[in-house]
Structure 1
Amino acid sequence: MTQLTVDTLKQEILRKLISDKGREVKEATSKDIYYVLASIVNEEIKQQWFQTRKNYRDGKNKEVYYLSMEFLIGRMLASNLLNCGMLDTAKEALRELGFEPEDIFSEEHDAALGNGGLGRLAACFLDSLASLNFPGHGYGIRYRYGLFEQRIIHGNQVELPDYWLKNPYPWETRNEEEAVVIQFHGDVHMFKKNDGSLEFEYRNTDKVMAVPYDIPIVGYENDTVNTLRLWSAEVIHQNNGDGLLEASKEYYHDLDHQHSIEQISGFLYPDDSSYEGKELRLKQQYFLVSSSIQNILKHFKQNHHLPLSRLAEKVVIQINDTHPSLAIPELMRILMDDEGFSWDNAWAVTTNVFAYTNHTTLSEALETWSEEMMQNLLPRIYMIIDEINERFCKGIWFDHEELRDSISELAVIAHGRVHMARLAIVGSFSVNGVARIHTEILKKKEMRNFYTLYPEKFNNKTNGITHRRWLLQANPKLADLITDVIGPQWVKRPKQLISLLKYSNDSALVDKFDQVKHENKKVLANYIHQHLGITVDERSIFDVQIKRLHEYKRQLLNIFHVIYLYNELKDNPNQDITPRTFIFGAKAAPSYHLAKEVIKLINTVASIVNYDPDVRDRLKVIFLENYNVSLAEKIIPAADISEQISTASKEASGTGNMKMMMNGALTLGTMDGANIEIHDLVGDQNMFIFGLTADEVLHYYQHGGYHARDLYNTDDRIKRVLDQLNQGEFGVHNIEFKDIYYNILYHNDPYFVLKDFEPYLEAHELIERAYRNRNTWLNMSVTNIAYSGKFSSDQTVQEYATEIWKIKKV
């Protein structure tokens, strides 16, 4: 990349302001400066982007293609400046021109291409692939609207459209010449050819054009620029002979038709409570995989000049969760129907190309589709899945007599449902979990029979995060301090953060860490005051839980503890406690009633606690609306406590735990997901572990023996909290939170909130005691940062590349 000086960059900004916007700097808005700076960065990127693609076209490299329904990439300007080595220069140039860098960066709307950890992991992996010089690309959908924009009104979550493309998105390039056609519905006709093989013809299909938009993924200071290709669904226009373009002779029918097609790339996760909503989700999944597989095969033919029978030598496709599983029958379809492969030859190619990452132990999250819907929407794909299932089940019957009784639990199609995880396992050469305990649960419980069949397929790849965004970019003061202490080598080799250990007892150094943390807390406190009008104590414990709102993540346990603390202060207003600020950020799925009730409860408790004079600023509850990547970048550097309190065995991995650990927060968590691997590194003395183990949880599920009402009847603290919910003490009327009350007591507390309540309180007592001893606390904090390099996504991607993908650096 060209190394611009501050003066050169200033002059370039001034020149482009006039040429692109027709304005001088004194007339320019922050938005003008954002677009001008983005244009300059794009010019820096494009030559390297072209050169990277040229290098890949020489046919020497095996490439990985990462298929995901989500890519939560966040804002790109600061990230691209950082990776181009221009971030500090740009910040100084902006300040000298009279602009605050943060004001410019905040003009960019977060790309609404994801929901939570799944999409953020995909984004981190793309960053690491490029930064490690691996040939790897992402394929996703260019949603016009994201999940939703969250607003909190009278304590309730209200969902608004998140139209992130309202303004031009400067990082994307439309490549209409590479558009492909996707076919839905219709009829499949079979013909027997002279050689006895079958030929298939599709008639009366609904055709959709998939148009790619490419976003550059810039490697860190290495001139590698990979590609995230996002597909947009558009109408195929036809010439009617008079030179007029139209899709239908009927005007209103044409509008309905166009709308139905645009809906395919309209919303991330459309509401699937109706048949039409479910069908739209299935359309999205096939739209993604069909366009991507067609594109991958086209590039293979252009770049490698090899027969498709050797596809696996140059191509590996990673399926990120079950959503892209239809890529397996789609590749089979193309190989057989378009390329003339026999079933056996096509299957041999397919099963050596795909690898599958599982992200859940929740059985309800393992996707299934109605057999009837699949047959109607994707008739040829259904035929192929049906044949996969028949051959697979016959193989079990004849070759694995010990599993005959379990065929219905293994079958890809069973009881009228198509099971996507089973399809992904059968059609892949690798199946990986995303944390050590998660993988073991898959092998021993959720996918035990598949593990019996295919032990060689199963492996673990613990998730990771890109330290470039979550430390270098999000927390530059801490990053600079680390560099001052141990040198800059850690930036490219994050495991070298371990060198901080020798300084963890250096009082002068830990004081500097304390100062950086306090400055970050002050920034977040100012943000809270600006957006909520609430003043928080910067010296209080910033206790943070930021993640998707789901019962198993147990935000409910957290707010129950807050209610308990509030009750204690009301009973004894003069007691000496360390001030605490509890910070929540979470979205609940629009149709997830109980999760939305928890959000209402958090905000209702906040409205009472924050303004009670008996509390006297010793307790604050903050819910920050519309949690996204950019908001996370503000919260994480300021966190003291990282709440990772999922019901043990339910969290596959977690990556928020890694991000906050890397920024010096101490983990309060169960032995679940990647918490276990954090614990392996830092030990009991540097984190706060509590609650049931995964084995204990699974034993209760299998054998019973847990009775929530017994705890309600014997623990006065629990009874008081639940009675307060039931009797309307929190809420505008006495039935406000009865659903939470009844779910706990009448559904026997399915996520063990009450069972873990007392050990959770005890862990918080230990936290308060540790926080009062600043030297001890800071030593723990520095120790966590030192070990966090283990969880860099660079490490994870290197393991995928070596052990699964078999790709090499370019």
Structure 2
Amino acid sequence: MAITEAQFMDDYKTRMLEMYSSSITEASKSQQYRVLASVVRDYYAKHWQETKTRYQKEDDKQVYYFSIEFLPGRFLPQNMLNLGIQDIVANGLNKLGIDLNHIIEQEPDPGLGNGGLGRLASEFLDSAASEGIAMHGNGIRYQYGLFKQEFINGYQVELPDDWLRNGNIWEVRRENRACVVHFGGHVWLKEDSFGKNHAIYENAEDVIAVPYDIGIVGYHNEVVNNLRLWSAELPYNEHQRYTLAEKQKVNEITQILYPDDSNYEGRLLRLKQEYFFVSAGVQSIVRSYRRHHRNLDDFGEKISIHINDTHPAMAVAELMRVLMDNESLSWEKAWNITEQVMSYTNHTLLSEALETWPEDMFAQTVPRIYQIVQEIDRRFRLKMVPLYGAELVQSVAPIADGYVRMAYLAVIGSHSVNGVAKIHSQLLQDSVLNGLYRMYPERFNNKTNGITFRRWLEVANPNLTNLLDNQIGQKWHKSPHFLRSFEVVAKDKDVLKKLAAVKHRNKVAFANYVQEHLHERINPKAIFDVQIKRLHAYKRQLLHVMYIIDEYLQIKSGQPLPNPRVHIFGAKAAPSYRYAKQIIKLINALAEQINHDPDVKNQLKIIFVPNYGVSLAEKIIPAADVSEQISLAGKEASGTSNMKLMANGAITLATMDGANIEMFDAVGSENMVTFGLTVDDVENYQNYHSADFYSKDQRIQRILNALVDGTIKDIESEGRDIFNSLVQYNDQYFLLADYESYAQAQEKIDMLYQKPDCWGKMMAYNVANSGRFSSDYTVIRYAEDIWHAKVPASIE
């Protein structure tokens, strides 16, 4: 973007006066941020409108990515980078006496997501805009997001994440594009004089969905796509007054991400959330299409709707509703369009994460959608039972055993179904969705996840970015596979020394952050051993904790560690997930004890960073030495933190699970440390008895006894429950079976870290071979293979 420092400085000073009638020196840092964000938004506003106009003029196919969560991180640094103005802004602000880094810290992370699912959705939006693909997000404008995590006496406490307290400068409210969403009541079909049925709603609870749009700026290409987030409001009626209870009931729909689903009310609210943003999104898409097309004949050629995991699966039935009830299409024509339009990504192998809804709840909450799902189920059975038999069809039908099953609805109503890593996609076909794979083999495919190097190198790690630019040029900024050339350059020992120096600077920066915010001193020369992801038993943070206890007992017995270690955790547990919250308490109790034990000194530290999110990841990932990707094989769909850490030169310690396998293929056994049971080992394990490992292995015995014998203070109930889960209740995720192999892998890490040249080469090889995991390439594959959308940008 062609602006000068002088122009920017003038724009900034003028906007400060317009917004706050204040001089720059009198303004607070928060005001300085809002002024800067406002100026940056103006710089891409014209491109936003021009992009929309061009799409309409050229009648490009539009892709809509439906996701219950997005996790974009701060918009300011990303937008400045993609506009190519970050240096101009930094220099201009510096001349005005302002530090850009201090201003960036004023932006709250948008509370729109939780973990990998939401981050992937945001990576895809960034990549699509940067590749010139007409793809837009559709989600919910959560008032409070998930929650703000704090630790009190080691326990996770959930506080409201009031990220919208000061508004969101990046969004534009478009009340003229609002939609009505129907809940509850009674729906019946009335036949008109032409023999067509019309849905009649009686006593329905109508909610107004108001869209807020955020521009998604492409990288140096003047493309700005759209993220549309919906907010729930009461219908405006000057003759009706609503009670506070009625207002609260509607506000709850878009208040928080993932309400507590451990009770009926929480489940009901979640069901309402899912239908709310699906219905609003589908209505908006059809309405937009109809403004520029005389009929729906080409709808399937011009529109793609992508279902990101099962949460938006009602899009299948909602599109049918709109096409039949609002547009008067026959079932057959509407179904043909729906199959052509819909595609579905599955993100899990865990049966409990494949959403199901009790039929009575579903029927009462979304009665018209229930009628349509019933008809989809009836026609599916009618077609498939003669071909595959009643037993198989019953096992994969959309409605069975009193439940509506969303994953099966998504597969049946889509033309494409994909997993997110090769092993994950294979397991979907072989087990989780095997029955539907037998019926629709042509629909199944793989699209391995990816990350945006703009965010995770250029924004998060400018030190490494500068080193790469100096050594291999800047082509990798647009085509990350050019990182491969760093592999050759890094054979030079001077380059490896520079790479090590970059890592050390990043570790010092993180150590300073920890001291300032958590009041703990950590040694930048120690191994920074990092595990950052959602807290869940299958991700096996507890296996990592077992090794820390092992290290601690070793120190207490008088044996020093081969290298000092800092174990770094970042994770939230779902508010109702008691076991995960017990593990958090264990980690924090262990940290309190180890970090203040004079026998330990600087050999061992635990840092659990509260309220983990994108901005914290940008601080942790560049500093990481070791990337813990230790899920039980066959449980992690893909993972993307593994790719981010790899790109930043961390050495992956991993099971052969998810995308770890493809990373292993990229770097080889010399540059990655693997351990543990394989998928086949887990599936073929006969008669696993975890108690046998406990009774026969003295090392495991010492570790687990520390949970219950008072060695670790302040965990009496948590320690006993965790101990019982591993010994009495047979260790669901095979931690004890994998422990010896994991410990050996950790010992290998220690040995390798003591050889700086070897470690440096491993770092360089990981950085150099990470480019293939760019989400730019992933989105292009989606566009070409699934959405059949235009891909104007070329890969060099």
TM tier, shorter chain? over 0.9
Displacement of 1:337: 1.3
Aligned to 1:294: 283
The residue identity in structure 1 corresponding to 2:84 is G
Aligned to 2:20: 21
Q: Deviations over 1:550-603 (max 9, x none)?
A: 000000000100000111111124x35211110000000011111001101111
Matches within 5 A, 1:440-455: 440-455=426-441
Whole-angstrom distance in 1 between the partners of 2:715 and 2:763: 43
Cross-structure match for 1:259: 248
Shift of 1:615: 1.5
Matched position secondary structure for 2:307: strand
Matching of residue 144 in structure 1 with residue 143 in structure 2: yes
Gap change, CA 1:112 and 1:66, over 3 Å in 2: same
Residue 535 of structure 1, CA deviation: 0.9
1:131–1:730 CA distance, 2 compared to 1 (3 A): same
1:40 and 1:733 map into 2 onto residues whose CA distance is 51
Supply the AA of the counterpart residue of 1:405: E
Paired position in structure 2 for 1:251 = none
Structure 2 Cα separation of the partners of residues 421 and 496 of structure 1: 38
Any idea what SS the aligned residue of 2:735 has?
Answer: coil
The offset of 1:95, in angstroms, is 2.5
- Which residue in 1 is equivalent to 2:621? 636
Alpha-carbon distance, 1:201 to partner: 1.2
1:754 aligns with 736
User: Quick one: distance in 1 between partners of 2:353 and 2:709?
Assistant: 34
TM-score by length of 1: 0.96
Q: Identify the match of residue 684 of structure 1 among 669, 675, 681.
A: 669
Q: Secondary structure at the match of 1:69?
A: coil
Any idea what the Cα deviations from partners look like across 1:466-495, whole Å, max 9, x if unmatched?
Answer: 110011110011111101111111100111
Q: Which amino acid aligns with 1:71?
A: F
CA distance in structure 1 between the partners assigned to 2:561 and 2:681 by the alignment: 36
Which of 387, 394, 403 lines up with 2:382 in the alignment?
394
Post-superposition CA distance 1:730-766 (Å, at most 9, x none) = 1326434111011111110000111111111100111
Question: Offset at 1:195?
Answer: 4.1
Asked if structure 1 preserves the Cα contact closer than 8 Å seen for 2:628 and 2:652, the reply is yes
How far the C-alpha of 1:437 sits from its partner, in A, is 0.2
Q: Which amino acid aligns with 1:283?
A: K
The residue aligned with 2:580 is: 595
Q: Which of the numbers 266, 273, 276 marks the counterpart of 1:284? A: 273
In 1, Cα distance between the equivalents of 2:537 and 2:615?
25
- Contact in 1 for aligned 2:585/2:718 (Cα 8 Å): no
Alignment of 1:177 with 2:163, yes or no, is no
Letter in 1 for 2:236: H
The answer as to whether partners of 1:545 and 1:642 remain within 8 angstroms in 2 is yes
What does the per-residue CA deviation read over 1:650-693, in whole Å, with 9 as the maximum and x for residues that have no partner? 00000000000000101000000000000001011001000000
Further displaced range: 786-795 or 306-315: 306-315
> Is residue 2:367 matched to residue 1:379?
yes
**1:236·1:247 contact (CA, 8 Å) conserved in 2?**
no
Q: The residue matched to 2:63 in structure 1 has which SS? A: strand
SS of residue matched to 1:233: strand
Contact 2:461–2:622, Cα closer than 8 Å, also in 1: yes
**One of 402, 407, 410 as aligned partner of 1:424:** 410
Q: Is the aligned partner of 1:745 residue 2:727?
A: yes
Select which of 727, 734, 747 maps to 2:709: 727
Distance in 2, matches of 1:189 and 1:597, equals 49
Q: Aligned residue for 2:39?
A: 40
Q: CA deviation at 1:627?
A: 0.2
Q: Deviations over 1:675-733 (max 9, x none)?
A: 00000010110010000001111223xxx421111110111111011111122321326
Q: Deviation string for 1:395-446 (max 9, x for gaps)?
A: 1212224xx3222211110110000000000000000000000000000111
The alignment covers a number of residue pairs equal to: 792
Counterpart amino acid of 2:568? I
Distance in 2 between the 1:239 and 1:576 partners? 73
Q: Alignment partner of 1:239: what SS? A: coil
Question: What's 1:243 paired with?
Answer: none
Distance 1:641 1:776 in 2: 14
Note the alpha carbon deviations across 1:253-278, whole angstroms, 9 max, x for none.
x2111111111111111112222211
- Which aligned segments of 4 or more residues in structure 1 are displaced greater than 6 angstroms? none
Task: Rate the CA distance shift 1:736–1:443 in 2: closer, same or farther, 3 A.
Answer: closer
What's the CA shift string for 1:594-636, capped at 9, x where partnerless? 1001101111111111111221201111100000000000000
| Alpha-carbon contact 1:728-1:735 (below 8 Å) kept | no
Q: Which amino acid aligns with 2:276?
A: F
* Equivalent residue number for residue 304 of structure 2: 316
Q: Give the unaligned 5+ runs of structure 1.
A: 241-245, 249-253
Question: 1:163: Cα distance to partner?
Answer: 1.0
Match of 1:771 in 2: 753
Query: What percent of counterpart residues are identical?
Result: 49
**Which residue among 613, 624, 634 is the counterpart of 1:649?**
634
Matching residue's letter, 1:406: L
- One-letter amino acid of the structure 2 residue matched with residue 588 of structure 1: A
State the distance in 1 between where 2:504 and 2:273 align: 45
After TM superposition, give the deviation of residue 775 of structure 1 in Å: 0.7
Instruction: Using the TM superposition, name which of 719-728 and 184-193 deviates more.
Output: 184-193
Q: 2:506 aligns with which of 499, 520, 524?
A: 520
Provide closer, same or farther for how the CA distance between residues 655 and 576 of structure 1 changes in structure 2, counting only shifts above 3 A: closer
For residue 12 of structure 1, report the CA deviation from its aligned partner.
Answer: 2.5
Letter in 2 for 1:385: V
Q: How does 1:457-536 map to 2 (within 5 A)?
A: 457-536=443-522
SS of the residue 1:351 aligns to: helix
Give yes or no for contact 2:589–2:714 (8 Å, CA) kept in 1: no
Please name the residue that 1:345 is paired with. 333
Moved more, 576-585 or 644-653: 576-585
Contact 2:120 2:451 (8 Å CA) reproduced: yes
For residue 667 of structure 1, give the secondary structure of its aligned residue in structure 2.
strand
Q: Matched residue of 1:697: which SS?
A: helix
| Alpha-carbon shift at residue 533 of structure 1 (Å) | 1.4
Instruction: Specify the alignment match of 2:116 in structure 1.
Output: 117
Q: Partners in 2 of 1:96 and 1:599 — Cα distance?
A: 45
- Paired residue for 1:538, among 524, 531, 541? 524
Q: Secondary structure at the match of 1:606?
A: helix
Contact 1:577–1:618 (Cα < 8 Å) also in 2: no
Q: CA deviation at 1:192?
A: 2.9
- Helix, strand or coil for the counterpart of 1:664? coil
Q: For the structure 1 residues 733 and 493, does the alpha-carbon distance in structure 2 shift closer, same or farther, using more than 3 Å as the test? A: closer
Supply the AA of the counterpart residue of 1:606. A
Q: CA deviation at 1:328?
A: 0.6
Q: Give the SS at the match of 2:57.
A: coil
Aligned to 1:64, the other structure's residue is in SS state strand
Match in the other structure for 2:154: 155
8 Å contact from structure 2 (residues 174, 211) kept in 1: yes
User: Are 1:617 and 2:599 matched, yes or no?
Assistant: no
Task: Return the alpha-carbon distance in structure 2 between the equivalents of residues 415 and 87 of structure 1.
Answer: 57
Q: In structure 1, how many angstroms separate the alpha carbons of the residues matched to 2:716 and 2:276?
A: 48
The answer on whether the counterparts of 1:727 and 1:735 sit within 8 Å (CA) in structure 2 is: no
- In the alignment, structure 1 residue 201 sits paired with structure 2 residue 197: no
Conserved in 1, the CA contact under 8 Å of 2:261 and 2:267? yes
Q: Matched residues in 2 for 1:667 and 1:736: separation?
A: 30
Question: Shift of residue 85 of structure 1?
Answer: 0.4
Q: Which amino acid aligns with 2:264?
A: Y
Equivalent-residue separation in structure 2 for 1:13 and 1:196 (angstroms): 63
User: CA separation in 1, counterparts of 2:371 and 2:196?
Assistant: 16
Which of 291, 309, 325 lines up with 2:313 in the alignment? 325
What is the correspondence of 1:216-231 to structure 2 with a 5 Å cutoff? 216-231=215-230
Whole-angstrom distance in 2 between the partners of 1:370 and 1:599: 32
Q: C-alpha deviations, 1:174-214, integer Å up to 9, x for none?
A: 00001011111111122233444433211211111000000
Question: For the residues of structure 2 that align with 1:297 and 1:804, how far apart are their CA atoms?
Answer: 20
- Contact kept, 8 Å, 1:351 with 1:427, in 2: the verdict is yes
Asked if 1 retains the 8 angstrom alpha-carbon contact of 2:585 and 2:715, the reply is: no
Task: Provide the rounded CA distance (Å) in 2 between the counterparts of 1:25 and 1:278.
Answer: 49
Matching of residue 693 in structure 1 with residue 693 in structure 2:
no
CA distance 1:606–1:399, change in 2 (3 Å): same
